[in-house]
Structure 1
Amino acid sequence: MVFLLSIKLFVITFIVVRGDLIKFIDEPLNGYVDIGKDHSLTCVVSGLINEELTWHKNGVQLLFEDEDVKLHISKTNNEISIGNITTLAVLNALRSDTGLYQCVVISLESGIILKKSRKAELIVRSFPSPQYPICHQPRADIPLGSTISMSCVSEKVNPPVTLQFIRNSQSLNAGTIKQEIEKFVKFRLKLNATKDDNGAVYECHQYSSFDSSYRKSCSMKPLNIQYKPEIKIQHTNPVLPGRETILFCQTFANPPVSQYRWTLVPPIKDEDIIVDKTGQTLKLVRPLIEQSRTNITCTATNEIGQVSSSVVLTV
């Protein structure tokens, strides 16, 4: 036990003593590089005797013999008049090269780290991959008054992209939520379904300060807002006795009306009325004065429900 403690004390003393003699004259600096371009980090150290200069990325030593590293990252060490210089060259920068880099002094005998430079942040600037943004469609059939939820997704890059929902060339801000999930950024839009939204097309536009002319977009399918029929009975009022008159059951509905039904109270004889094949038009063949104040109702039905509207006949 005493022997092990002695070794530990010796190692600690060695690190402190050697570390005090080693000085960083020039340390790596923060920087930006565009994707596909080259960038270098430089470090100058004095006081080396039997030590090696190497590099860490995000706290982990770069192993320059690894295939993934040596293909586009190289290290050059040289002696100069004021000490030793090491240069880390990043060639054809990848987005994954973004990180914190440090120049590190290692003992050749023990492999112990004796000293580290300050951390230098390298940021690789790029656009998202070509397939982004990706629009996630809302459900196919949307009931009136329900919540519509739509989103678009892009990649987290530097500089961050800006996502914007557009409808009819107008930017939408209300109801938008931005989320960052691992390597992605998600932009969500929530709104209450109205009849005006039926058939509307929403787009997600993507911008980047990396290039002010850059813009990409994706589109949602036209919204399918479903609602019960709205009815308005078109008719002449008052009606002249004995002169044929027509009542038209005008409707607005999605999905379309599947059935029309006319109800007359009190009833009028079948031979005095004609309903066309669609059921939407009612014809009074010979209106009589005694039929005044007849309540005529049109009921329209679709998959969502049914609605009725009435008028009072005046002859």
Structure 2
Amino acid sequence: MCLQNIYLLLVLLYYAQAELFTAKPKDVEEFEGQIATLKCFLGEFIEAKYVVSWWKAGSKLTEQNEVVTMDERMTVNLDELPYPGAFSYSLLITNILLKDEGGYHCQIDRTPPITSGIARLTVLQVPSVEYPKCTKSANSYIVGSQVKLTCTCELLSPPVNLVWSREGSFILPMDIQTEELEDFVYKHYIFTAQKDDNDATFMCQQKTKIIPKIQNCTIRNLNIQYRPEVKIQHTSALFAKIDSILFCQSFANPPVTGFKWTFTPVLNAYEYITDGQVLTLTKLSMDRNGTRITCSAENKIGIGRNTMTLHMTKEIRRNDNIQKNDNDLEISPEAEENNLDIYGKDNPSISLYVVIIIIILVVIIVVVVVIIPVYYQCFCKTRTTINTSGREIYQPTVYYDPRDRSSNSGLYDRSLPRLPNTGHYGHWRHSFASQVPEDLDQQGYMYIEERNGQNTL
């Protein structure tokens, strides 16, 4: 009896080893909507004796060549290979969905059942071109309030990575809050609004390992509102008995809606003129030195103020042709602070020197560029003449040197050349010479001989 049990155990081990799967099914990765194929291979399998099936977790999907689950996207094939007892068992899933992702294995139905290794099906999802989406919690924010920027993408497999950046600089992940809700992922960037955040640009980048392309969305020109920042400025030192202009400079979002000037102690109405941002002090006396002047600017967010103390110097009297010594002027501390030097680089006389130099340069340029070329064209250039047929006739420059000589002695003047026709010296000669610039070496002479009242050449 004991020997029979040992024999039976050996037989079971033999068949179990003979019907083992030859290898573990391979893992499969496929894009959503495509076809996924899972395969397992059997050795020494007797089709008429045993049944093989596909399983996902604890659910049976197929049995031999039939699909037992209610899913029309699945098909199964048990194909015999060209080796005795060797088979390939394939499961095809068309138009795969994210829910198909998971572990699959083959099983031979016997006692005890024999199972293959697990094959992992991974469904790859491509992000939609509609994502990511960037949103902000409000159209505008007041300085000190909370700003919430949100980047939204789909909940995919594999997961995508969302990265926030500001003006090209990445924001640390520790400053980002992540939230998953239904089929979407939200990345929130929350911070306190500052004036420097006004007009800032924020970008959210979406990255995934399955495609190299990076998709992004942008929030531009963030609107951060703040009350006016005010500063009183003036362009020169303030002198008694001379009109002075002060300017109320402001920075605000939204723009300033109104300006107001106040004085401590109060100035008389005839001592100043206000025009919005501009204040004109009309010939104040030295008694007003130390007056506190305040400019207030207001927008819908609030009011901003700036106050300055009036520091004036004594009245300056200068003749246009006489410049005083520097010791004759009193410069206020505020003028010294603003580097206002009355006889320094802002002196109008220096500007006059610059103007004179510029005028001289302009005259030189006009002479060189305009007058000299025009003079040459009009007086030095060779002129041409056109005949009746329209042809140009060149007119060289010619000068004449007439000479008339005669001999009263009746003798030939041997200083004269011989006559061309007789070879004798002439009594009288009228000659002229012409010189052409293009042919300076050529000279021409014409001789006239008068005999018995006749002219002979």
TM-score range, shorter chain: 0.7 to 0.9
Contact 1:227 1:254 in 2 (8 A): yes
Partner of residue 86 from structure 1, selected from 83, 86, 89 = 89
The size of the alignment, in residue pairs, is 289
Moved more, 149-158 or 223-232: 149-158
Q: Within the alignment, does 1:285 sit opposite 2:287 as a pair?
A: no
Q: Within the alignment, does 1:28 sit opposite 2:28 as a pair?
A: no
Change (3 A) 1:169 1:89: same
Q: Within the alignment, does 1:44 sit opposite 2:45 as a pair?
A: no
Amino acid at match of 2:187: F
Q: Within the alignment, does 1:235 sit opposite 2:238 as a pair?
A: no
Higher gyration radius (CA): 2
| TM-score, length basis structure 1 | 0.78
The sequence identity of aligned pairs, in percent, is 31
Q: Within the alignment, does 1:310 sit opposite 2:307 as a pair?
A: yes
Partner of residue 296 from structure 2, selected from 280, 284, 299 = 299
Q: Which residue of 2 is the match for residue 74 of structure 1? A: 75
Report the Cα distance in structure 1 between the residues aligned to 2:131 and 2:59, rounded to whole angstroms.
32
Report the Cα distance in structure 1 between the residues aligned to 2:242 and 2:58, rounded to whole angstroms.
95
CA drift of 1:151 comes to: 1.8
Report the Cα distance in structure 2 between the residues aligned to 1:186 and 1:113, rounded to whole angstroms.
49
Residue aligned with 1:70, SS: coil
Report the Cα distance in structure 1 between the residues aligned to 2:118 and 2:247, rounded to whole angstroms.
79
Q: Which has the higher helix share?
A: 2
The C-alpha deviation readout for 1:89-126, integer Å capped at 9, x for no partner, is 2345444432222324568xxxx995554432111223
Residue aligned with 1:287, SS: coil
Contact 2:198 2:224 in 1 (8 A): yes
Q: Which residue of 1 is the match for residue 224 of structure 2? A: 225
Amino acid at match of 2:217: C
Moved more, 217-226 or 24-33: 24-33
Report the Cα distance in structure 1 between the residues aligned to 2:177 and 2:254, rounded to whole angstroms.
31
Q: Which residue of 1 is the match for residue 146 of structure 2? A: 147
CA drift of 1:88 comes to: 0.8
Report the Cα distance in structure 2 between the residues aligned to 1:217 and 1:102, rounded to whole angstroms.
40
CA drift of 1:30 comes to: 1.8
CA-atom RMSD, angstroms? 3.0
Contact 1:128 1:157 in 2 (8 A): yes
Q: Which has the higher strand share?
A: 1
Change (3 A) 1:294 1:239: same
Moved more, 248-257 or 149-158: 149-158
Contact 1:135 1:153 in 2 (8 A): yes
Change (3 A) 1:106 1:259: farther
Amino acid at match of 1:100: G
Amino acid at match of 1:268: L
- Kindly report which structure 2 residues correspond to 1:71-220, keeping only aligned pairs within 5 A, or say none: 71=73, 73-79=74-80, 81-82=84-85, 84-105=87-108, 114=113, 116-173=115-172, 175-212=175-212, 214-220=213-219
Residue aligned with 1:253, SS: strand
Change (3 A) 1:128 1:84: same
Contact 2:46 2:85 in 1 (8 A): no
Change (3 A) 1:103 1:206: same
CA drift of 1:185 comes to: 2.8
Change (3 A) 1:222 1:216: same
Contact 2:26 2:119 in 1 (8 A): yes
Q: Report which structure shows greater RCO (CA 8 Å, sep ≥6).
A: 1
Change (3 A) 1:83 1:157: same
The C-alpha deviation readout for 1:111-152, integer Å capped at 9, x for no partner, is x99555443211122321221111122322222133322121
Change (3 A) 1:131 1:271: same
Q: Which residue of 2 is the match for residue 268 of structure 1? A: 267
The C-alpha deviation readout for 1:4-62, integer Å capped at 9, x for no partner, is xxxxxxxxxxxxx9xx9564344422222234544311123436656543333354344
